[in-house]
């Protein structure tokens, strides 16, 4: 079951909502305000766009270093993700729209790719299956063929400008019938990937992929597609031609065009050697990960050598430390771990089912939730050691199982209360509160072992469900749940501080805690959040600053927080690196001008300071006042300070925008 949403195909700014930002951003951040401004300007043909050219005109802004944030990868390493300057985001959005057919053509060359654009999105499924049941109180008999009209709000935007072939996420490939059929046909499987693919891509090589290396070097046309794409990619990366930014979808498309040409070149040379694709071998490529299947190890090795030679032409290299060849069955320690833990958890939950005796209760009482959770935690620990994997291997599966089980419990709890109106809390509530406490104990253990942006979103989904249950409990039940949430949150904060995690891994968890439980004085979670999140703000950072303002001072003004963050921003504006940090300083300038608890004269002073240090221009107080009024006329930019955030809606939207790996 799903709700299908039509999207505006003929909207040159639509890619702003999906393809120009990384997945890993705070849930309060989006491009919706920027999009609304551009659409309003377009409709009015407003002259204000000239006044704000220093903000939104790519040519006027010039080369700009993207705002970089570090996040933890599944293996524990750090990955640097980038947000381009708003002006370059706008330019890229228009470029994608104007050249969509050419993009599709250039991404239709390879027979090896299993993730590439195949069309322009016309509609998308906003909610589907259990996600809809878990978070939205609507009639579940939704007709899948009902197509809602596009709206001006965020529900009208697809998760990508393009639709993609086959597999949008790698785990879907591993679970596919196609993958199983390859194991039937071929005895051996080889794997390799490209070493530091995106940071190694030479932007000029896009022309080599489109027109051939020799021809491209002899025939350079400034107005050609490849030259304009190259120029835009380097401009948003501070004129760097070696390496492309990591995070936004357009970077993956840029890489895809190059890798498709490499695929085609390799297949052609293999054919000359008498090796036919889908007869003698099969190659599948997911972004920069390669999977080779054959009945001969020698064939796999030969194919890898051909790829290495082809990659070198484009100044790319394989990661030899990750090359493997395995014999069927094609299952890894990671795959075994996932299967085992899924079976263990499902088996335990099945033991909790009981026969409905007419009272609507189908769940057995867990008499000691902590003992039960310890049993599951030991299963997890044993699995990790036995298969030599990390908790990350199955954290996604675990969170999904617990989310669905809690969701089902909530539906059962609601119906059981109706059937047992007398003394329900006294007789039956402990069945449900103990179940939830057991779940909290396990999921917080898993999160503590795998603190990442993706898991913070999954944990936020579960916390929403727990908060719904909390609100329907008696005061005794509420106190038990609040205490458990507070105790576990403190443990997480201590772990994060000890291990030196950045706020990016926890920001969505903290926002959710604050929105759902932070207003309750008995829990005192808000004080814990302030101590954790605010005390570490010693240097200006855009995401940290907007999150601190949103959590600590949006609803109830805290002058100490505001003044401290403003002082950090002013110091960043005045530093010798202000020109290099143009993107980050610009994003915050737009948001702070709309922040409700800053005086007009403070906003105008920041505008003057921005012009002097970032743009090397002197402006009058009167012009600063005009600019402040124009920027203030937009309802919001990247953070909506004026209305309460619908966390359910944000999380459902994120679910459709899952990161590609």
pLDDT at 47: 59
Q: Phi and psi at residue 6, in whole multiples of 5°?
A: -70, 145
- What are the backbone dihedrals phi and psi of residue 147, each rounded to the nearest 5 degrees, phi first? -115, 115
C-alpha closest to that of 654 among 450, 458, 505: 458
Exposure string for 169-181, b = 16+ CB within 10 A, e = fewer:
eeeebbeeeebee
Question: What element of type H or E holds 193?
Answer: strand 188-193
The CA-CA-CA angle for residues 269, 274, 280, to 5°, reads: 100
Q: Helix, strand or coil for residue 245?
A: coil
Encode pLDDT of 464-511 as tens digits.
999 999 988 988 999 899 889 989 988 888 887 766 666 777 888 888
To the nearest 10 degrees (0 to 180), the angle between helices 86-98 and 32-44 is 70
Contacts of 179 (CB under 8 A, 6+ apart): 173, 330
Q: What integer pLDDT is reported at residue 656 of this predicted model?
A: 60
Look at the alpha carbons of 159, 160, 165, 171 in this order and tell me if their dihedral is positive or negative: negative
Long-range contacts of 411-418 (CB under 8 A, 24+ apart): 411/133, 412/360, 412/361, 412/362, 412/363, 413/469, 413/472, 414/472, 415/360, 416/359, 416/360, 416/361, 417/472, 418/360
DSSP 8-class letter at 242: B
Q: Please say whether the dihedral angle defined by the alpha carbons of residues 268, 270, 275 and 277, taken in this order, is positive or negative.
A: negative
Ramachandran area for residue 452 (φ above 0: left; ψ -120 to 50: alpha; else beta): beta
3-state secondary structure of 626: helix
Q: How far is CA 356 from CA 278, 314, 359, 364, 369, in A?
A: 53, 65, 7, 10, 22
**pLDDT < 70: residue spans in the chain:** 1-9, 46-49, 74-76, 123-158, 216-220, 222, 498-502, 518-525, 653-661
- 3-class secondary structure, 488: helix
Maximum Cα–Cα distance across the chain: 85
Q: Where are the beta strands (DSSP E) in 55-161?
A: 67-72, 78-83, 117-120, 123-128, 147-148
């Amino acid at each position: 079951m799903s709700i299908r949403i039509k999207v505006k195909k003929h909207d040159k700014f639509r890619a702003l909502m999906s393809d120009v930002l990384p997945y890993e951003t705070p849930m309060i951040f989006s491009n919706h305000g920027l999009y609304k401004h551009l659409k309003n300007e377009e409709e009015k043909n407003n002259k204000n766009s000239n006044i704000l050219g220093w903000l939104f005109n790519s040519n006027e802004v010039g080369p700009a270093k993207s705002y970089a944030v570090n996040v933890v990868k599944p293996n524990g390493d750090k990955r640097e993700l980038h947000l381009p300057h708003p002006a370059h985001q706008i330019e890229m959005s228009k470029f994608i729209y104007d050249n969509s057919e050419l993009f599709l053509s250039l991404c239709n060359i390879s027979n090896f790719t299993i993730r590439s654009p195949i069309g322009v999105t016309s509609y998308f499924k906003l909610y589907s299956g259990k996600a809809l049941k878990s978070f939205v109180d609507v009639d579940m008999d939704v007709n899948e063929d009902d197509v809602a009209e596009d709206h001006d709000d965020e529900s009208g935007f697809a998760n990508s400008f393009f639709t993609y072939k086959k597999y949008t996420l790698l785990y879907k490939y591993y679970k596919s019938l196609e993958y199983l059929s390859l194991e039937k046909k071929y005895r051996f499987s080889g794997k390799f990937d490209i070493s530091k693919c995106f940071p190694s891509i030479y932007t000029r090589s896009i022309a080599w992929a489109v027109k051939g290396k020799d021809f491209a070097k002899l025939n350079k046309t400034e107005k050609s597609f490849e030259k304009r794409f190259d120029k835009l990619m380097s401009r948003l990366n501070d004129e760097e031609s070696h390496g492309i930014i990591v995070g936004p979808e357009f970077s993956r498309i840029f890489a895809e065009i190059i890798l498709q040409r490499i695929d085609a070149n390799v297949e052609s040379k293999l054919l000359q050697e008498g090796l036919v694709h889908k007869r003698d071998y099969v190659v599948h490529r997911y972004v920069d990960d390669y999977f080779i299947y054959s009945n001969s190890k020698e064939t796999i090795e030969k194919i890898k050598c051909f790829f290495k030679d082809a990659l070198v032409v484009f100044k790319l290299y394989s990661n030899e430390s990750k090359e493997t060849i395995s014999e069927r069955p094609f299952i890894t320690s990671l795959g075994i771990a996932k299967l085992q833990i899924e079976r263990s958890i499902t088996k335990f939950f099945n033991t909790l089912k009981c026969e409905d005796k007419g009272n609507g209760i189908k769940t057995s009482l867990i008499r000691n939730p902590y003992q039960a959770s310890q049993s599951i935690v030991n299963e997890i620990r044993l699995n990790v050691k036995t298969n030599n994997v990390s908790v990350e291997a199955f954290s996604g599966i675990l969170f999904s199982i617990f989310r669905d089980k809690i969701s089902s419990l909530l539906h059962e709890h609601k119906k059981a209360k109706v059937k047992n109106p007398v003394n329900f809390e006294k007789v039956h509530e402990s069945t449900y509160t103990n179940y939830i406490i057991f779940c909290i104990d396990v999921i917080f253990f898993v999160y503590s072992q795998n603190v990442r942006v993706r898991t913070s979103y999954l944990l936020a989904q579960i916390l929403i469900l727990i908060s719904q249950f909390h609100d329907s409990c008696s005061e005794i039940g509420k106190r038990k749940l609040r205490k458990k949430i507070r105790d576990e949150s403190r443990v997480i904060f201590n772990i994060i501080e000890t291990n030196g995690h950045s706020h990016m891994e926890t920001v969505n968890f903290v926002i959710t805690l604050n929105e759902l439980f932070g207003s309750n004085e008995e829990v005192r979670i808000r004080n814990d959040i302030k101590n954790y999140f605010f005390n570490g703000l010693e240097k200006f950072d855009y995401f940290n600053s907007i999150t601190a303002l949103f959590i600590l001072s949006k609803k109830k003004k805290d002058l100490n927080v505001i003044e401290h963050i403003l002082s950090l921003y002013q110091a960043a504006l005045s530093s010798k690196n202000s020109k290099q940090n143009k993107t980050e300083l610009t994003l915050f300038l737009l948001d702070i001008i709309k922040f409700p608890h800053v005086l007009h004269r403070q906003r105008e002073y920041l505008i003057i300071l921005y012009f002097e240090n970032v743009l090397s221009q002197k402006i009058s107080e009167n012009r600063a006042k005009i600019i402040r009024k124009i920027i203030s006329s937009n309802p919001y930019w990247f953070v909506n300070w004026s209305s309460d955030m619908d966390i359910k809606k944000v999380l459902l939207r994120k679910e459709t925008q899952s990161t590609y790996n």
